[in-house]
Chains A and B, each alone.
Chain A
Amino acid sequence: MKPAAFDYVRAESAAEALEVLHAEGAGARVLAGGQSLLPMLNMRLARPAVLVDIMAVAEWRSVEDDGSHLRIGAAVRQMEIEQRADLARRQPLLAAVLPWIGHAQTRSRGTVCGSVAHADPSAELPLVLVALDGRVHLRSRRKARQMPASEFFTGMMATVRADDEIIEAVSLPAAKPGTGYAFREVARRHGDFAIIACAAVVDQNGARLAVGGVADRPMALDLPVPGSPELPDALNQFAWDLDARDDLHATARYRRELVRRIGREVIEEAQRCRA
Protein backbone atom coordinates (compact mmCIF):
# COMPACT_ATOMS: atom_id res chain seq x y z
CA MET A 1 0.00 0.00 0.00
CA LYS A 2 1.75 3.09 -1.25
CA PRO A 3 0.28 6.47 -2.07
CA ALA A 4 -0.31 7.43 -5.70
CA ALA A 5 2.06 10.14 -6.90
CA PHE A 6 1.44 13.74 -5.86
CA ASP A 7 3.25 17.06 -5.87
CA TYR A 8 4.26 18.44 -2.47
CA VAL A 9 4.43 22.00 -1.23
CA ARG A 10 5.72 22.87 2.21
CA ALA A 11 3.98 26.20 2.75
CA GLU A 12 5.95 28.75 4.69
CA SER A 13 3.07 31.17 5.20
CA ALA A 14 -0.71 31.06 5.37
CA ALA A 15 -0.88 33.11 2.17
CA GLU A 16 1.22 30.57 0.32
CA ALA A 17 -0.91 27.64 1.49
CA LEU A 18 -4.14 29.44 0.57
CA GLU A 19 -2.76 30.32 -2.85
CA VAL A 20 -2.14 26.64 -3.66
CA LEU A 21 -5.61 25.68 -2.43
CA HIS A 22 -7.08 28.49 -4.54
CA ALA A 23 -5.23 27.42 -7.67
CA GLU A 24 -5.76 23.67 -7.32
CA GLY A 25 -9.26 23.42 -5.83
CA ALA A 26 -10.35 19.83 -5.31
CA GLY A 27 -6.99 18.50 -6.51
CA ALA A 28 -5.24 19.78 -3.40
CA ARG A 29 -5.34 18.34 0.11
CA VAL A 30 -4.01 19.94 3.25
CA LEU A 31 -1.39 17.83 5.00
CA ALA A 32 -1.10 18.61 8.71
CA GLY A 33 -0.20 15.73 11.06
CA GLY A 34 -1.19 13.22 8.40
CA GLN A 35 -2.61 10.67 10.83
CA SER A 36 -5.93 10.44 8.96
CA LEU A 37 -4.80 11.55 5.51
CA LEU A 38 -1.80 9.22 5.16
CA PRO A 39 -3.89 6.05 5.72
CA MET A 40 -6.28 7.34 3.04
CA LEU A 41 -3.36 8.00 0.69
CA ASN A 42 -1.77 4.62 1.41
CA MET A 43 -5.05 2.85 0.71
CA ARG A 44 -5.60 5.13 -2.29
CA LEU A 45 -8.96 6.24 -0.98
CA ALA A 46 -7.60 9.72 -1.74
CA ARG A 47 -5.47 10.58 -4.78
CA PRO A 48 -4.76 14.30 -4.58
CA ALA A 49 -2.65 16.03 -7.23
CA VAL A 50 -0.85 18.11 -4.62
CA LEU A 51 -0.37 18.05 -0.86
CA VAL A 52 0.03 21.34 0.97
CA ASP A 53 2.05 20.73 4.14
CA ILE A 54 1.07 23.46 6.63
CA MET A 55 3.15 22.44 9.63
CA ALA A 56 5.76 25.15 9.00
CA VAL A 57 3.18 27.96 8.90
CA ALA A 58 4.00 30.00 11.99
CA GLU A 59 0.65 31.82 12.19
CA TRP A 60 -1.18 28.50 12.49
CA ARG A 61 0.99 27.08 15.25
CA SER A 62 -0.47 28.96 18.22
CA VAL A 63 -2.96 28.25 20.97
CA GLU A 64 -4.64 31.39 22.27
CA ASP A 65 -6.48 31.58 25.57
CA ASP A 66 -8.28 34.88 25.97
CA GLY A 67 -9.89 33.87 29.26
CA SER A 68 -13.25 32.87 27.83
CA HIS A 69 -12.20 30.78 24.81
CA LEU A 70 -9.36 28.56 23.66
CA ARG A 71 -8.44 29.00 20.02
CA ILE A 72 -6.35 26.19 18.57
CA GLY A 73 -4.50 26.83 15.33
CA ALA A 74 -4.41 24.51 12.32
CA ALA A 75 -0.88 23.24 12.93
CA VAL A 76 -1.20 22.46 16.65
CA ARG A 77 -0.64 18.80 17.40
CA GLN A 78 -2.94 16.84 19.74
CA MET A 79 0.03 16.01 21.98
CA GLU A 80 0.87 19.69 22.40
CA ILE A 81 -2.62 20.36 23.77
CA GLU A 82 -2.57 17.23 25.91
CA GLN A 83 0.64 18.35 27.60
CA ARG A 84 -0.58 21.81 28.62
CA ALA A 85 -0.35 21.81 32.38
CA ASP A 86 -3.51 23.89 32.84
CA LEU A 87 -5.70 22.04 30.34
CA ALA A 88 -7.81 20.08 32.86
CA ARG A 89 -8.64 23.38 34.57
CA ARG A 90 -9.19 25.42 31.41
CA GLN A 91 -11.36 22.85 29.62
CA PRO A 92 -11.84 19.51 31.43
CA LEU A 93 -13.84 17.95 28.60
CA LEU A 94 -11.02 18.48 26.11
CA ALA A 95 -8.55 17.10 28.67
CA ALA A 96 -10.78 14.04 29.19
CA VAL A 97 -11.04 13.08 25.52
CA LEU A 98 -7.46 13.58 24.38
CA PRO A 99 -6.10 10.30 25.79
CA TRP A 100 -8.85 8.47 23.86
CA ILE A 101 -7.75 9.71 20.45
CA GLY A 102 -5.83 6.95 18.68
CA HIS A 103 -2.61 6.28 20.56
CA ALA A 104 0.24 8.36 21.96
CA GLN A 105 2.12 7.27 18.83
CA THR A 106 -0.42 9.04 16.60
CA ARG A 107 -1.24 12.02 18.87
CA SER A 108 2.43 12.95 18.64
CA ARG A 109 1.80 13.92 15.00
CA GLY A 110 -1.96 14.35 14.54
CA THR A 111 -3.48 17.80 14.83
CA VAL A 112 -6.70 18.99 16.47
CA CYS A 113 -7.96 20.81 13.37
CA GLY A 114 -6.99 17.89 11.13
CA SER A 115 -9.26 15.56 13.07
CA VAL A 116 -12.08 18.09 12.75
CA ALA A 117 -11.46 18.40 9.00
CA HIS A 118 -11.48 14.62 8.56
CA ALA A 119 -14.92 14.50 10.26
CA ASP A 120 -15.01 10.83 11.14
CA PRO A 121 -18.39 10.22 12.83
CA SER A 122 -16.78 8.38 15.74
CA ALA A 123 -13.90 10.82 16.29
CA GLU A 124 -13.57 12.45 19.69
CA LEU A 125 -12.57 16.02 18.79
CA PRO A 126 -15.54 16.76 16.52
CA LEU A 127 -17.74 15.42 19.35
CA VAL A 128 -16.19 17.74 21.92
CA LEU A 129 -16.52 20.69 19.60
CA VAL A 130 -20.24 19.96 19.12
CA ALA A 131 -20.79 19.27 22.85
CA LEU A 132 -19.22 22.59 23.84
CA ASP A 133 -20.83 24.50 20.99
CA GLY A 134 -17.40 25.45 19.71
CA ARG A 135 -16.72 27.17 16.41
CA VAL A 136 -14.84 26.30 13.23
CA HIS A 137 -12.85 29.09 11.58
CA LEU A 138 -12.39 28.69 7.84
CA ARG A 139 -10.20 30.75 5.58
CA SER A 140 -9.62 30.87 1.85
CA ARG A 141 -7.86 33.39 -0.35
CA ARG A 142 -11.30 34.91 -0.96
CA LYS A 143 -12.60 35.28 2.59
CA ALA A 144 -12.73 34.13 6.17
CA ARG A 145 -15.86 32.72 7.77
CA GLN A 146 -16.78 30.86 10.91
CA MET A 147 -19.67 28.79 12.11
CA PRO A 148 -20.84 26.66 15.06
CA ALA A 149 -19.46 23.11 14.93
CA SER A 150 -22.98 21.69 14.60
CA GLU A 151 -23.31 23.52 11.27
CA PHE A 152 -19.85 22.51 10.07
CA PHE A 153 -20.41 18.74 10.00
CA THR A 154 -22.88 17.61 7.35
CA GLY A 155 -22.47 13.84 7.24
CA MET A 156 -20.02 10.95 7.19
CA MET A 157 -16.63 12.60 6.61
CA ALA A 158 -18.51 15.50 5.02
CA THR A 159 -18.38 19.14 6.02
CA VAL A 160 -19.28 22.55 4.60
CA ARG A 161 -15.62 23.32 3.90
CA ALA A 162 -15.10 24.37 0.29
CA ASP A 163 -12.17 23.00 -1.70
CA ASP A 164 -10.15 26.21 -1.44
CA GLU A 165 -10.73 26.59 2.31
CA ILE A 166 -8.70 25.46 5.28
CA ILE A 167 -9.71 25.20 8.93
CA GLU A 168 -7.32 27.81 10.26
CA ALA A 169 -8.47 27.29 13.85
CA VAL A 170 -11.16 25.89 16.07
CA SER A 171 -12.31 27.68 19.18
CA LEU A 172 -14.11 26.36 22.20
CA PRO A 173 -15.34 27.91 25.41
CA ALA A 174 -13.17 27.57 28.49
CA ALA A 175 -14.65 25.90 31.57
CA LYS A 176 -17.32 27.97 33.27
CA PRO A 177 -17.90 27.97 37.02
CA GLY A 178 -20.94 25.93 38.04
CA THR A 179 -20.72 23.80 34.91
CA GLY A 180 -19.84 20.09 34.98
CA TYR A 181 -18.29 18.09 32.14
CA ALA A 182 -18.00 14.35 31.59
CA PHE A 183 -16.95 11.95 28.83
CA ARG A 184 -17.19 8.21 28.27
CA GLU A 185 -16.36 6.01 25.35
CA VAL A 186 -17.10 2.39 24.53
CA ALA A 187 -14.68 0.69 22.13
CA ARG A 188 -13.35 -2.84 21.70
CA ARG A 189 -9.90 -1.75 22.80
CA HIS A 190 -8.39 1.53 23.87
CA GLY A 191 -7.49 3.44 20.73
CA ASP A 192 -10.04 1.70 18.51
CA PHE A 193 -12.78 3.68 16.83
CA ALA A 194 -15.60 4.38 19.26
CA ILE A 195 -18.72 2.24 19.11
CA ILE A 196 -20.21 5.12 21.04
CA ALA A 197 -18.69 8.21 22.63
CA CYS A 198 -20.73 10.49 24.89
CA ALA A 199 -19.89 13.94 26.19
CA ALA A 200 -22.11 15.82 28.63
CA VAL A 201 -22.17 19.43 29.79
CA VAL A 202 -24.44 20.21 32.74
CA ASP A 203 -25.14 23.60 34.28
CA GLN A 204 -27.96 25.11 36.32
CA ASN A 205 -30.16 25.47 33.23
CA GLY A 206 -29.96 21.94 31.90
CA ALA A 207 -27.87 19.26 30.30
CA ARG A 208 -26.38 18.98 26.83
CA LEU A 209 -25.48 15.51 25.59
CA ALA A 210 -23.40 14.93 22.47
CA VAL A 211 -23.06 11.46 20.98
CA GLY A 212 -20.50 10.22 18.47
CA GLY A 213 -20.16 6.90 16.67
CA VAL A 214 -23.90 6.40 16.15
CA ALA A 215 -25.20 8.88 13.57
CA ASP A 216 -23.22 9.98 10.50
CA ARG A 217 -21.81 12.91 12.48
CA PRO A 218 -21.64 13.94 16.14
CA MET A 219 -25.09 15.01 17.33
CA ALA A 220 -26.05 17.00 20.41
CA LEU A 221 -29.32 17.48 22.24
CA ASP A 222 -30.30 19.72 25.11
CA LEU A 223 -32.00 17.61 27.74
CA PRO A 224 -33.65 17.96 31.14
CA VAL A 225 -31.26 17.81 34.08
CA PRO A 226 -30.61 14.53 35.92
CA GLY A 227 -33.34 13.58 38.30
CA SER A 228 -35.99 15.02 36.02
CA PRO A 229 -38.75 12.48 35.29
CA GLU A 230 -38.60 13.43 31.59
CA LEU A 231 -34.95 12.44 31.16
CA PRO A 232 -35.40 8.71 30.35
CA ASP A 233 -38.00 9.43 27.67
CA ALA A 234 -35.94 12.23 26.18
CA LEU A 235 -32.87 9.97 26.03
CA ASN A 236 -34.88 7.19 24.43
CA GLN A 237 -36.23 9.55 21.79
CA PHE A 238 -32.70 10.85 21.11
CA ALA A 239 -31.42 7.26 20.78
CA TRP A 240 -34.01 6.53 18.09
CA ASP A 241 -33.52 9.87 16.35
CA LEU A 242 -29.82 9.11 15.82
CA ASP A 243 -30.86 6.42 13.32
CA ALA A 244 -28.22 3.90 14.38
CA ARG A 245 -27.16 1.23 11.88
CA ASP A 246 -25.87 -2.30 12.28
CA ASP A 247 -22.22 -2.74 11.43
CA LEU A 248 -19.38 -5.16 12.13
CA HIS A 249 -18.82 -3.78 15.60
CA ALA A 250 -22.31 -3.42 17.06
CA THR A 251 -25.97 -3.67 16.20
CA ALA A 252 -28.23 -0.64 15.98
CA ARG A 253 -30.19 -1.94 18.96
CA TYR A 254 -27.04 -2.20 21.09
CA ARG A 255 -26.05 1.33 20.12
CA ARG A 256 -29.48 2.68 21.12
CA GLU A 257 -29.13 0.96 24.47
CA LEU A 258 -25.69 2.52 24.90
CA VAL A 259 -27.10 5.98 24.13
CA ARG A 260 -29.74 5.51 26.85
CA ARG A 261 -27.39 4.07 29.46
CA ILE A 262 -24.06 5.76 28.83
CA GLY A 263 -25.91 8.97 28.03
CA ARG A 264 -27.60 8.95 31.43
CA GLU A 265 -24.36 8.05 33.18
CA VAL A 266 -22.31 10.87 31.66
CA ILE A 267 -25.05 13.39 32.43
CA GLU A 268 -25.09 12.22 36.05
CA GLU A 269 -21.32 12.34 36.20
CA ALA A 270 -21.23 15.87 34.78
CA GLN A 271 -23.85 16.83 37.36
CA ARG A 272 -21.61 15.50 40.14
CA CYS A 273 -18.65 17.43 38.70
CA ARG A 274 -20.57 20.69 39.07
CA ALA A 275 -20.15 20.49 42.82
Chain B
Amino acid sequence: MILSRVADALYWMGRYLERAENTTRLLLVTEEMVSEVIGLDEGAARAECSELRAIFPGIDASDEVPRPTKAMAQAALYELSIDAAHPHSIFFSLKKARDNARTVREALTIEVFVSLNETYRELGGYTRRQIADLPSFRDAMAATQRGILSTAGAIEQTLARDPGWLFLKLGESMERVFRTTVVLRAKLPELLAQEPKVDLPLFYTRWRGLLRGLSSLENYRKVHGARMEPADALQFLLFDPHTPRSLRYGTSAVKELLERVSGTSQLSLPARIIGRLAADLAYQGQDDVLREGRAIPFLDHVLAELTRCHDTLSTTYFGT
Protein backbone atom coordinates (compact mmCIF):
# COMPACT_ATOMS: atom_id res chain seq x y z
CA MET B 1 0.00 0.00 0.00
CA ILE B 2 1.19 3.47 -0.72
CA LEU B 3 0.78 7.08 0.31
CA SER B 4 -2.34 8.72 -1.06
CA ARG B 5 -0.30 11.66 -2.32
CA VAL B 6 2.09 9.34 -4.14
CA ALA B 7 -0.78 7.37 -5.70
CA ASP B 8 -2.34 10.65 -6.82
CA ALA B 9 0.92 11.86 -8.39
CA LEU B 10 1.53 8.55 -10.18
CA TYR B 11 -2.03 8.47 -11.52
CA TRP B 12 -1.61 11.97 -12.98
CA MET B 13 1.84 11.20 -14.28
CA GLY B 14 0.26 8.29 -16.19
CA ARG B 15 -2.57 10.45 -17.48
CA TYR B 16 -0.35 13.29 -18.65
CA LEU B 17 2.19 11.01 -20.27
CA GLU B 18 -0.57 9.30 -22.22
CA ARG B 19 -2.17 12.64 -23.05
CA ALA B 20 1.14 13.93 -24.40
CA GLU B 21 1.44 10.89 -26.65
CA ASN B 22 -2.16 11.18 -27.86
CA THR B 23 -1.78 14.87 -28.62
CA THR B 24 1.47 14.28 -30.48
CA ARG B 25 -0.08 11.61 -32.66
CA LEU B 26 -3.31 13.50 -33.37
CA LEU B 27 -1.39 16.63 -34.22
CA LEU B 28 0.95 14.78 -36.58
CA VAL B 29 -1.87 12.92 -38.30
CA THR B 30 -4.12 15.95 -38.63
CA GLU B 31 -1.39 18.24 -39.88
CA GLU B 32 -0.28 15.74 -42.52
CA MET B 33 -3.81 15.15 -43.72
CA VAL B 34 -4.69 18.82 -43.85
CA SER B 35 -1.52 19.61 -45.80
CA GLU B 36 -2.37 16.90 -48.26
CA VAL B 37 -6.04 17.64 -48.92
CA ILE B 38 -6.15 21.40 -48.58
CA GLY B 39 -5.95 21.92 -52.33
CA LEU B 40 -8.48 19.20 -53.03
CA ASP B 41 -11.17 20.15 -50.54
CA GLU B 42 -10.64 23.15 -48.34
CA GLY B 43 -13.88 22.50 -46.48
CA ALA B 44 -12.71 19.08 -45.35
CA ALA B 45 -9.39 20.54 -44.22
CA ARG B 46 -11.22 23.18 -42.23
CA ALA B 47 -13.43 20.55 -40.64
CA GLU B 48 -10.40 18.53 -39.54
CA CYS B 49 -8.94 21.64 -37.91
CA SER B 50 -12.10 22.61 -36.11
CA GLU B 51 -12.51 19.05 -34.84
CA LEU B 52 -9.13 19.45 -33.19
CA ARG B 53 -10.69 22.37 -31.40
CA ALA B 54 -13.42 20.16 -30.02
CA ILE B 55 -10.82 17.64 -28.85
CA PHE B 56 -8.61 20.33 -27.32
CA PRO B 57 -10.90 23.21 -26.42
CA GLY B 58 -9.49 26.69 -26.54
CA ILE B 59 -6.93 26.40 -29.30
CA ASP B 60 -6.78 29.02 -31.95
CA ALA B 61 -7.69 26.93 -34.99
CA SER B 62 -10.76 28.87 -36.05
CA ASP B 63 -9.40 31.23 -38.65
CA GLU B 64 -6.73 28.95 -40.04
CA VAL B 65 -6.09 27.88 -43.59
CA PRO B 66 -4.97 31.25 -44.87
CA ARG B 67 -3.03 29.90 -47.87
CA PRO B 68 -2.77 26.44 -49.29
CA THR B 69 0.94 26.26 -48.43
CA LYS B 70 0.33 27.05 -44.78
CA ALA B 71 -2.35 24.48 -44.40
CA MET B 72 -2.82 24.50 -40.70
CA ALA B 73 -2.67 27.68 -38.74
CA GLN B 74 0.79 28.10 -37.34
CA ALA B 75 -0.75 29.43 -34.17
CA ALA B 76 -2.55 26.14 -33.60
CA LEU B 77 0.56 24.07 -34.27
CA TYR B 78 2.53 26.19 -31.87
CA GLU B 79 -0.15 26.19 -29.20
CA LEU B 80 -0.68 22.45 -29.29
CA SER B 81 3.00 21.55 -29.43
CA ILE B 82 5.39 23.71 -27.43
CA ASP B 83 3.36 26.55 -25.92
CA ALA B 84 4.08 26.14 -22.21
CA ALA B 85 1.11 28.31 -21.27
CA HIS B 86 -1.45 26.30 -23.22
CA PRO B 87 -3.13 23.58 -21.12
CA HIS B 88 -3.54 21.30 -24.16
CA SER B 89 -0.01 21.54 -25.52
CA ILE B 90 2.23 18.49 -25.61
CA PHE B 91 4.85 20.44 -23.69
CA PHE B 92 2.35 21.31 -20.99
CA SER B 93 1.36 17.64 -20.60
CA LEU B 94 4.98 16.51 -20.55
CA LYS B 95 5.81 19.13 -17.97
CA LYS B 96 2.90 17.99 -15.81
CA ALA B 97 3.98 14.37 -16.17
CA ARG B 98 7.53 15.32 -15.21
CA ASP B 99 6.45 17.57 -12.32
CA ASN B 100 4.46 14.70 -10.91
CA ALA B 101 7.36 12.30 -11.49
CA ARG B 102 9.71 14.66 -9.67
CA THR B 103 7.55 14.60 -6.57
CA VAL B 104 7.59 10.79 -6.48
CA ARG B 105 11.02 9.89 -7.82
CA GLU B 106 11.38 7.43 -4.98
CA ALA B 107 8.48 5.48 -6.48
CA LEU B 108 10.10 5.34 -9.94
CA THR B 109 13.29 3.91 -11.38
CA ILE B 110 16.10 6.08 -12.67
CA GLU B 111 15.43 4.78 -16.21
CA VAL B 112 11.84 6.00 -16.15
CA PHE B 113 12.69 9.42 -14.80
CA VAL B 114 15.66 10.01 -17.09
CA SER B 115 13.72 8.98 -20.19
CA LEU B 116 10.82 11.27 -19.33
CA ASN B 117 13.14 14.11 -18.39
CA GLU B 118 15.11 13.83 -21.64
CA THR B 119 11.93 13.84 -23.72
CA TYR B 120 10.66 16.88 -21.90
CA ARG B 121 13.94 18.74 -22.23
CA GLU B 122 14.30 17.92 -25.91
CA LEU B 123 10.85 19.25 -26.80
CA GLY B 124 11.48 22.29 -24.61
CA GLY B 125 14.53 23.04 -26.75
CA TYR B 126 12.46 23.77 -29.89
CA THR B 127 11.69 27.38 -30.78
CA ARG B 128 8.56 28.86 -32.25
CA ARG B 129 10.42 29.41 -35.52
CA GLN B 130 11.43 25.78 -35.80
CA ILE B 131 7.85 24.69 -35.20
CA ALA B 132 6.67 27.01 -37.97
CA ASP B 133 8.78 25.03 -40.46
CA LEU B 134 6.69 21.94 -41.23
CA PRO B 135 9.47 19.38 -41.79
CA SER B 136 11.16 20.45 -38.57
CA PHE B 137 7.79 20.42 -36.81
CA ARG B 138 7.30 16.81 -37.93
CA ASP B 139 10.78 15.92 -36.72
CA ALA B 140 9.97 17.41 -33.33
CA MET B 141 6.74 15.43 -33.12
CA ALA B 142 8.39 12.19 -34.19
CA ALA B 143 11.21 12.66 -31.66
CA THR B 144 8.71 13.40 -28.91
CA GLN B 145 6.67 10.34 -29.76
CA ARG B 146 9.80 8.18 -29.67
CA GLY B 147 10.75 9.67 -26.32
CA ILE B 148 7.33 8.99 -24.83
CA LEU B 149 7.33 5.44 -26.15
CA SER B 150 10.74 4.77 -24.63
CA THR B 151 9.48 6.13 -21.33
CA ALA B 152 6.57 3.71 -21.60
CA GLY B 153 9.14 1.02 -22.38
CA ALA B 154 11.14 1.91 -19.28
CA ILE B 155 7.95 1.69 -17.22
CA GLU B 156 7.24 -1.74 -18.71
CA GLN B 157 10.79 -3.02 -18.34
CA THR B 158 11.94 -1.64 -15.01
CA LEU B 159 9.08 -0.86 -12.61
CA ALA B 160 7.99 -3.30 -9.96
CA ARG B 161 4.34 -4.31 -10.29
CA ASP B 162 3.50 -2.75 -6.95
CA PRO B 163 0.55 -0.54 -5.98
CA GLY B 164 2.38 2.49 -7.36
CA TRP B 165 2.59 0.84 -10.76
CA LEU B 166 -1.15 0.06 -10.61
CA PHE B 167 -1.98 3.74 -10.15
CA LEU B 168 0.42 4.79 -12.91
CA LYS B 169 -1.17 2.32 -15.34
CA LEU B 170 -4.62 3.29 -14.13
CA GLY B 171 -3.93 6.91 -15.08
CA GLU B 172 -2.61 5.83 -18.46
CA SER B 173 -5.58 3.54 -19.21
CA MET B 174 -8.13 6.05 -18.03
CA GLU B 175 -6.65 8.80 -20.18
CA ARG B 176 -6.43 6.51 -23.20
CA VAL B 177 -10.06 5.38 -23.19
CA PHE B 178 -11.20 8.88 -22.31
CA ARG B 179 -9.26 10.36 -25.24
CA THR B 180 -10.62 7.80 -27.71
CA THR B 181 -14.13 8.66 -26.62
CA VAL B 182 -13.50 12.41 -26.95
CA VAL B 183 -11.99 11.98 -30.42
CA LEU B 184 -14.90 9.85 -31.60
CA ARG B 185 -17.38 12.30 -30.12
CA ALA B 186 -15.70 15.19 -31.93
CA LYS B 187 -15.27 13.52 -35.31
CA LEU B 188 -18.26 11.24 -35.74
CA PRO B 189 -20.99 13.82 -36.33
CA GLU B 190 -19.20 15.16 -39.42
CA LEU B 191 -18.06 11.75 -40.65
CA LEU B 192 -21.45 10.12 -40.22
CA ALA B 193 -23.33 13.02 -41.80
CA GLN B 194 -21.22 12.80 -44.95
CA GLU B 195 -22.46 10.65 -47.74
CA PRO B 196 -19.70 9.19 -49.83
CA LYS B 197 -20.23 11.89 -52.42
CA VAL B 198 -18.18 12.81 -55.42
CA ASP B 199 -14.80 12.34 -53.88
CA LEU B 200 -14.73 8.83 -52.58
CA PRO B 201 -10.95 8.75 -51.93
CA LEU B 202 -11.18 11.80 -49.70
CA PHE B 203 -14.06 10.28 -47.76
CA TYR B 204 -11.98 7.19 -47.09
CA THR B 205 -8.91 9.29 -46.30
CA ARG B 206 -10.78 10.94 -43.47
CA TRP B 207 -11.95 7.65 -42.02
CA ARG B 208 -8.42 6.33 -42.29
CA GLY B 209 -7.27 9.53 -40.54
CA LEU B 210 -9.59 8.76 -37.66
CA LEU B 211 -8.12 5.29 -37.30
CA ARG B 212 -4.55 6.57 -37.62
CA GLY B 213 -5.21 9.28 -35.07
CA LEU B 214 -6.14 6.52 -32.66
CA SER B 215 -3.16 4.43 -33.82
CA SER B 216 -5.56 1.73 -34.95
CA LEU B 217 -5.28 1.70 -38.75
CA GLU B 218 -2.87 -1.20 -38.98
CA ASN B 219 -4.82 -3.18 -36.41
CA TYR B 220 -8.01 -2.50 -38.36
CA ARG B 221 -6.46 -3.81 -41.57
CA LYS B 222 -5.47 -7.03 -39.86
CA VAL B 223 -9.12 -7.64 -39.06
CA HIS B 224 -10.95 -6.09 -42.01
CA GLY B 225 -8.32 -5.79 -44.74
CA ALA B 226 -7.49 -2.67 -46.69
CA ARG B 227 -11.10 -1.99 -47.59
CA MET B 228 -12.45 0.93 -45.61
CA GLU B 229 -16.04 0.50 -44.49
CA PRO B 230 -17.26 3.20 -42.10
CA ALA B 231 -19.51 0.76 -40.26
CA ASP B 232 -16.61 -1.67 -39.80
CA ALA B 233 -14.29 1.10 -38.61
CA LEU B 234 -16.80 2.34 -36.08
CA GLN B 235 -17.53 -1.15 -34.84
CA PHE B 236 -13.79 -1.74 -34.56
CA LEU B 237 -13.08 1.42 -32.54
CA LEU B 238 -15.95 0.76 -30.17
CA PHE B 239 -16.06 -2.99 -29.74
CA ASP B 240 -12.86 -4.67 -30.86
CA PRO B 241 -11.61 -6.75 -27.92
CA HIS B 242 -7.91 -6.66 -28.89
CA THR B 243 -6.91 -3.23 -30.12
CA PRO B 244 -5.62 -1.16 -27.18
CA ARG B 245 -7.48 2.00 -28.14
CA SER B 246 -10.96 0.59 -28.62
CA LEU B 247 -13.52 1.56 -26.00
CA ARG B 248 -14.14 -2.05 -25.11
CA TYR B 249 -10.47 -2.84 -24.57
CA GLY B 250 -9.91 0.45 -22.75
CA THR B 251 -12.75 0.09 -20.28
CA SER B 252 -11.86 -3.48 -19.45
CA ALA B 253 -8.22 -2.42 -18.89
CA VAL B 254 -9.39 0.21 -16.41
CA LYS B 255 -11.73 -2.33 -14.85
CA GLU B 256 -8.98 -4.90 -14.32
CA LEU B 257 -6.65 -2.35 -12.74
CA LEU B 258 -9.36 -1.00 -10.46
CA GLU B 259 -10.23 -4.51 -9.35
CA ARG B 260 -6.59 -5.10 -8.45
CA VAL B 261 -6.38 -1.76 -6.64
CA SER B 262 -9.65 -2.52 -4.89
CA GLY B 263 -8.05 -5.70 -3.66
CA THR B 264 -10.96 -7.33 -1.84
CA SER B 265 -14.08 -9.16 -2.90
CA GLN B 266 -15.94 -6.01 -1.88
CA LEU B 267 -15.43 -3.83 -5.00
CA SER B 268 -14.96 -0.10 -4.57
CA LEU B 269 -17.41 2.36 -6.12
CA PRO B 270 -15.18 3.32 -9.09
CA ALA B 271 -14.57 -0.38 -9.81
CA ARG B 272 -18.32 -1.00 -9.95
CA ILE B 273 -18.93 2.00 -12.23
CA ILE B 274 -16.30 0.94 -14.74
CA GLY B 275 -17.39 -2.70 -14.43
CA ARG B 276 -20.91 -1.89 -15.61
CA LEU B 277 -19.56 0.20 -18.49
CA ALA B 278 -17.17 -2.55 -19.56
CA ALA B 279 -20.03 -5.05 -19.46
CA ASP B 280 -22.14 -2.77 -21.66
CA LEU B 281 -19.36 -2.64 -24.23
CA ALA B 282 -18.75 -6.36 -24.10
CA TYR B 283 -22.30 -7.69 -24.03
CA GLN B 284 -24.62 -5.03 -25.37
CA GLY B 285 -26.01 -5.64 -28.86
CA GLN B 286 -23.54 -3.87 -31.10
CA ASP B 287 -26.02 -3.32 -33.88
CA ASP B 288 -28.21 -1.53 -31.42
CA VAL B 289 -25.54 1.06 -30.67
CA LEU B 290 -24.44 1.35 -34.27
CA ARG B 291 -27.95 2.02 -35.52
CA GLU B 292 -28.42 5.42 -37.00
CA GLY B 293 -28.50 8.20 -34.47
CA ARG B 294 -27.56 5.98 -31.52
CA ALA B 295 -23.76 6.25 -31.52
CA ILE B 296 -23.51 9.85 -30.34
CA PRO B 297 -25.79 9.50 -27.28
CA PHE B 298 -23.95 6.30 -26.43
CA LEU B 299 -20.60 8.13 -26.52
CA ASP B 300 -22.05 10.82 -24.24
CA HIS B 301 -23.07 8.10 -21.83
CA VAL B 302 -19.53 6.61 -21.93
CA LEU B 303 -17.98 10.02 -21.26
CA ALA B 304 -20.27 10.64 -18.29
CA GLU B 305 -19.50 7.24 -16.78
CA LEU B 306 -15.74 7.65 -17.25
CA THR B 307 -15.92 11.03 -15.55
CA ARG B 308 -17.86 9.54 -12.66
CA CYS B 309 -15.33 6.74 -12.37
CA HIS B 310 -12.44 9.23 -12.25
CA ASP B 311 -14.16 11.41 -9.66
CA THR B 312 -15.00 8.53 -7.34
CA LEU B 313 -11.56 7.00 -7.59
CA SER B 314 -10.06 10.37 -6.63
CA THR B 315 -12.19 10.61 -3.51
CA THR B 316 -11.73 6.93 -2.64
CA TYR B 317 -7.95 6.71 -2.96
CA PHE B 318 -6.43 10.17 -3.03
CA GLY B 319 -8.64 11.82 -0.43
CA THR B 320 -9.18 14.76 -2.79
**Do A and B interact with each other, yes or no?**
no
Binding site for B on A (CB under 8 A): none
Binding site for A on B (CB under 8 A): none
